[in-house]
Each structure stands twice: as structure tokens, then as C-alpha cells.
């Protein structure tokens, strides 16, 4: 399995979201009681096991809901506190913690791979020596789109020895010996490997694993108590939503386990899971950040939200325009082919919508699009 969702591909499906372009903000009454009623018809229409949504309105979580079942064929229902897999929405989290390290002087946006790993300078391809942190986080590093190095499979990456940090180091060393797909700094290439490299750089300068950096610098300060990594839940139990893969007309539940998600080597690109309420806490930090700061300064939030090489990809965010958002909006989606999650932020409106499901595939994408469109319609009139 692999992170198959690219942000430019995702924009093809946003026509429904744009339909609310002329709506204006309404009062800020909390509407938690309305969300499940909105979600359930969409879940049934697309025949999904579970579907969840959340709204950030006027700088706070205004609504959270979840409907359906944790596992196909099992009667256990999902709850608002259940965890959903965020996939590539993890990327902006990695970029946010990187920004904290930049503000603390442990890294610079211009810090290169060779500067962080001088011991690898001679072994790596010369094209990679000048690749910067900012190039990696904006997908302009030249690293390829494939998540497994040439001649390897994702199962091979799963089998790398050592701790997650040691596996990431071995993984990026393999990629540094392969030619870049394009000259660094010249072309957008969506790359999980590039984010793994950024995570390895963060680990080197802090002498701490990426997982620990996320907990200490992001999840704990924001009160994200449900945040974790990989497949949700306990092996052999239905204590969290199971993931589901679609093969033809068959839906296959995937139980939690070490091989039930992408390899930990690419965790900085897409292995975070959490409840919708906790994800909304993180999104709120970005919605408010350009004006109020918080995790980082307003200036740094604006840098995270601005494409550094032109185009439409910033640092973990795709940037576009929507009338309902008052102009510039941010979005991202993620999938490990067994889940789907998407978020839309409108900082100019102090507003965001989030949607997630525990199934991959086209129906999952369409359902989450419809949830976002419906929530925009409900909260912006």
C-alpha cells in the first residue's frame, strides 16, 4: 500500500465545495447535534463503514460527529472520540514541527542535507548535497514519487532493521544513492521519501525520534491525547475503527497490526491518526496562526502557508482560491488506500471543515468531499 493521493489530483473534485461561493457567515451557534444527521445519509449513499466530520468556526471547534461502524460486519458503532487515519495530512504536522526547530535555531529553511549529514556527503549523489529543508517540505527536492526505493517493495521497507529512527536513516541512505527524478529546485514532485528525509534531518539535529518530536512539540501542547501512529486500535480487538480496502465489489476489513499501514520509515509523510476533535485542535492552530501565532509566530505560519517556489504547494498545504473562504484557502487530503481524510482551511474566515472515513477508494473520496461541501453550506450562509 502507498500514499496515493496527490493534492493537484484532489482539486478535480472540489466543484461541489465551490457551490457555496456566495454564502456569508452566520451566527456561531454550536451545532454538534446536527452533524450526525448530516453525515449518515452521505455514509449510506456511498456505503462506507464509518464517516466523521468536524468544523472549526470563529476560532474554536464548533461541531464534531461520527456515524457508522468500526468494522464492516461488526455491530460496534464509532464514537466522536474514535481515531481516524490522517494519511498525508501528517505532512503539514511534520512541516509545523520543522518550523519550530527553525525558530529555535536548530535548523534553517536553507539548511541542506549535506550540512546535517556530513558523514554521507561523499556517498550521496552530488545533486542532493544542496537540497534544502524547504525544498523537501514543498516537494521540490527532486526525490521521486515512489515510496519504495528502486528494486525494493514496501514490504522490504517494512523489514528494515532497528528502531523507527534507524529505519528512516537506512531508508534515506538508499534514496540518496539514486538519481533524482528532476534537478532539485526546478520541479514539483510529490514525494513521501522527501518528507522522510526531512524527518531524518529533524531527528539528527535534535537527537530524538520523529515520533517523540511530534508528541512533545505538537500533540501535548495542543492537548491531542488521542494522537498516535499507524493503524488504529489493538490487534485482535475492535476498540477503534478498522481500516477497509475495496477490491471490486468486496470490502475487506484490515485488522490493526505492524503491516497494516505504510512503513514507519515514511511516518513523517503520513502515519498519524487521531480523533476528529483532536485533529480540529491542530487545524484551529493553523486557522488562527497567521493572525495570532501560537505554536510559531504569525510570520512563520504565513511562510508555512505560502508556496516558496511558485505553483500551489506550500509546506504541507495546497493553496488555492475559493469565494466561500474569502479568497485564499488551504487544503490537503491523505490516504494509505485503506482510509481517506481531507481538510479545508479558510484563515480569512477563521473557518475550516474536516472529514474522514475508514475506507479507501473513490467512494470514500466523494463522500468526504460531500461532507465538506455540506458543512460549508451549513455554517457559511
Contact residues for 325 (Cβ-Cβ < 8 A; gap 6+)? 344, 345, 346, 348, 349, 351
pLDDT tens-digit map of 206-220: 999 999 999 999 999
User: What is the span of the domain harbouring residue 163?
Assistant: 107-212
pLDDT tens-digit map of 116-133: 999 999 999 999 999 999
The verdict on residue 72 lying in a domain is yes
Evaluate if residue 372 carries a pLDDT over 90.
Answer: yes
Domain boundary among the residues 212, 239, 269 is at 212
Same domain? For 372 and 237 the reply is yes
pLDDT reported for residue 59: 83
The verdict on residue 79 lying in a domain is yes
pLDDT reported for residue 24: 35
Of residues 27 and 324, more confidence is placed in: 324
CB 213 within 8 A of CB 229: no
pLDDT reported for residue 286: 98
Same domain? For 305 and 340 the reply is yes
Same domain? For 279 and 230 the reply is yes
pLDDT reported for residue 7: 42
Mean pLDDT score, 96-115: 98
Selection from 145, 150, 128, 157 nearest residue 266 by Cα: 157
**pLDDT, averaged across the chain:** 92
Evaluate if residue 8 carries a pLDDT over 70.
Answer: no
First to last CA, the chain: 40
Mean pLDDT score, 339-346: 98
The CATH number of whichever domain residue 235 belongs to comes to 3.40.710.10
The verdict on residue 82 lying in a domain is yes
Same domain? For 229 and 206 the reply is no
Evaluate if residue 180 carries a pLDDT over 70.
Answer: yes
pLDDT tens-digit map of 311-341: 999 999 999 999 999 999 999 999 999 999 9
What the block records as the C-alpha cell of 59 is: 476560532
pLDDT reported for residue 315: 98
The verdict on residue 371 lying in a domain is yes
Selection from 205, 196, 191 nearest residue 168 by Cα: 196
378: left (phi over 0), alpha (psi -120 to 50) or beta: alpha
Phi, psi of 379 (to 5 degrees): -100, -20
The verdict on residue 247 lying in a domain is yes
Mean pLDDT score, 10-26: 40
Q: Supply the DSSP symbol for 229.
A: E
| Number of domains the chain contains | 2
Same domain? For 158 and 200 the reply is yes
Same domain? For 151 and 294 the reply is no
Domain boundary among the residues 172, 188, 212 is at 212
The verdict on residue 2 lying in a domain is no
pLDDT tens-digit map of 72-87: 999 999 999 999 999 9
Q: How far apart are CA 350 and CA 224, in angstroms?
A: 20
The verdict on residue 302 lying in a domain is yes
Q: How far apart are CA 125 and CA 175, in angstroms?
A: 9
The verdict on residue 351 lying in a domain is yes
Mean pLDDT score, 134-157: 96
* Residues, the chain: 381
Same domain? For 242 and 157 the reply is no
Mean pLDDT score, 135-160: 96
Q: How far apart are CA 259 and CA 345, in angstroms?
A: 32
pLDDT tens-digit map of 272-288: 999 999 999 999 999 99
Of residues 94 and 21, more confidence is placed in: 94
Contacts 24+ apart (CB under 8 A), 218-224: 218/93, 218/96, 218/97, 218/282, 218/295, 219/274, 219/278, 221/295, 222/278, 222/281, 222/282, 222/285, 222/295, 223/278, 223/281, 224/274, 224/278, 224/279, 224/281, 224/282
Instruction: Grade residue 26 by pLDDT with cuts at 50, 70 and 90.
Output: very low
Max CA pair span of the chain: 61
pLDDT reported for residue 120: 97
**pTM to 2 decimal places:** 0.93
CB 16 within 8 A of CB 369: yes
pLDDT reported for residue 34: 72
Q: How far apart are CA 311 and CA 299, in angstroms?
A: 20
Mean pLDDT score, 3-11: 46
Evaluate if residue 9 carries a pLDDT over 90.
Answer: no
Between the alpha carbon of residue 63 and those of residues 30, 60, 68, 92, 129, the distances in Å are 6, 9, 17, 22, 46
pLDDT reported for residue 31: 45
Secondary structure (3-state) at 1: coil
Same domain? For 263 and 348 the reply is yes
Same domain? For 80 and 228 the reply is yes
Same domain? For 374 and 233 the reply is yes
**Which single residue is written with the C-alpha cell 549523489?**
125
Mean pLDDT score, 212-236: 98
Listed in sequence order, the DSSP H helices in the chain are: 7-10, 15-18, 32-46, 90-103, 113-116, 133-137, 154-158, 164-176, 192-206, 210-214, 220-222, 267-270, 276-292, 298-304, 362-379
Of residues 9 and 224, more confidence is placed in: 224
Same domain? For 82 and 147 the reply is no
Same domain? For 243 and 156 the reply is no
pLDDT tens-digit map of 290-319: 999 999 999 999 999 999 998 999 999 999
Selection from 137, 147, 189 nearest residue 172 by Cα: 147
Element (H or E) spanning 57, and its range?
strand 50-57
Amino acid at each position: 500500500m502507498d500514499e496515493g493521493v496527490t493534492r493537484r489530483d484532489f482539486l478535480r473534485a472540489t466543484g461541489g465545495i465551490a457551490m457555496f461561493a456566495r454564502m456569508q457567515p452566520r451566527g456561531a451557534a454550536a451545532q454538534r447535534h446536527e452533524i450526525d444527521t448530516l453525515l449518515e445519509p452521505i455514509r449510506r449513499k456511498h456505503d462506507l463503514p464509518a464517516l466523521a466530520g468536524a468544523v472549526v468556526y470563529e476560532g474554536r471547534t464548533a461541531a464534531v460527529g461520527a456515524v457508522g461502524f468500526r468494522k464492516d460486519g461488526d455491530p460496534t458503532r464509532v464514537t466522536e472520540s474514535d481515531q481516524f487515519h490522517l494519511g498525508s495530512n501528517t505532512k503539514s504536522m511534520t512541516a509545523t514541527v520543522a518550523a519550530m526547530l527553525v525558530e529555535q535555531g536548530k535548523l534553517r529553511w536553507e539548511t541542506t542535507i549535506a550540512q546535517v549529514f556530513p558523514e554521507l556527503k561523499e556517498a550521496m549523489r552530488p545533486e542532493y548535497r544542496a537540497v534544502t529543508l524547504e525544498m523537501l517540505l514543498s516537494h521540490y527536492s527532486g526525490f521521486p514519487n515512489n515510496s519504495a526505493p528502486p528494486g525494493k517493495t514496501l514490504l522490504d521497507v517494512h523489514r528494515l532493521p532497528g528502531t523507527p529512527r534507524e529505519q528512516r536513516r537506512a531508508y534515506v541512505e538508499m534514496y540518496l544513492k539514486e538519481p533524482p527524478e528532476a534537478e532539485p529546485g526546478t520541479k514539483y514532485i510529490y514525494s513521501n521519501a522527501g518528507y522522510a528525509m526531512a524527518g531524518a534531518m529533524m531527528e539528527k539535529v535534535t537527537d530524538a525520534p520523529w515520533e517523540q518530536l511530534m508528541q512533545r512539540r505538537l500533540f501535548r501542547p495542543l492537548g491531542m491525547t488521542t494522537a498516535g501512529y499507524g493503524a488504529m486500535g489493538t490487534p485482535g480487538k475492535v476498540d477503534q475503527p478498522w481500516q477497509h480496502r475495496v477490491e471490486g465489489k468486496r470490502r475487506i476489513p484490515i485488522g490493526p497490526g505492524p503491516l497494516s499501514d505504510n512503513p514507519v520509515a515514511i511516518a513523517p509523510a503520513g502515519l498519524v491518526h487521531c480523533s476528529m476533535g483532536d485533529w480540529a485542535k491542530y487545524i484551529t492552530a493553523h486557522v488562527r496562526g497567521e493572525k495570532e501565532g501560537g505554536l510559531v509566530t504569525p510570520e512563520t505560519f504565513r511562510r508555512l502557508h505560502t508556496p516558496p517556489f511558485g505553483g500551489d504547494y506550500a509546506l504541507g498545504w495546497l493553496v488555492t482560491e475559493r469565494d466561500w473562504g474569502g479568497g485564499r484557502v488551504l487544503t490537503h487530503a491523505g490516504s494509505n488506500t485503506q482510509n481517506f481524510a481531507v481538510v479545508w482551511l479558510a484563515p480569512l474566515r477563521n473557518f475550516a471543515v474536516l472529514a474522514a472515513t475508514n475506507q479507501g477508494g473513490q467512494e470514500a473520496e466523494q463522500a468526504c468531499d460531500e461532507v465538506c461541501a455540506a458543512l460549508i453550506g451549513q455554517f457559511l450562509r
